[in-house]
A = this chain, B = another copy of it.
Amino acid sequence: MLVADNATAPTYTIGECARRSGFTMDTLRYYERIGLIDDVRRTATGQRRFTDADLEWLGTLKCLRDTGMPVEQMARFADLVREGDHTIPERIRLLEEHRVAVDERMADLAAKRDYISGKIDYYRSV
């Protein structure tokens, strides 16, 4: 459910954030715990309230995770972001390196997909 602090800045409970980000609530708490997400704002009684900025960051994390980046490297990236703009060259390097890994993975998948197709064709011909 959406919870508004004021007229202009929507915030989200962890459940809503889970729904929107595609992570489970447990994963969100886990990510916060290990420093992948900055400490999330809380209500007076301690409940988390995620912002749109949090959700955007989570979108980036999801992209990195789903392309196979290990949590440790995501943590490194999160650290760089926290350290400020002077780390941008390093962030670029990290992302470029990751992109190469993704490209290799895709090429490997494509080749193996073809092998599978060949296998299917063979079975069809039997």
Could you list which residues of chain A lie within 8 angstroms of chain B, going by C-beta atoms? 60, 63-64, 66-67, 85, 88, 91-92, 95-96, 98-99, 102-103, 105-106, 108-110, 112-113, 115-117, 119-120, 123-124, 126
Contacting pair A113 B92 (CB below 8 A): no
Question: Apart from A63-B112, A67-B113, A96-B120, what 14 extra A-B contacts exist at CB < 8 Å?
Answer: A63-B115, A64-B116, A66-B112, A67-B109, A67-B116, A92-B120, A95-B119, A98-B116, A99-B120, A102-B109, A102-B112, A103-B113, A106-B106, A109-B109
Per assembly, the copies of the chain total 2
Contacting pair B60 A119 (CB below 8 A): yes
Contacting pair A66 B108 (CB below 8 A): yes
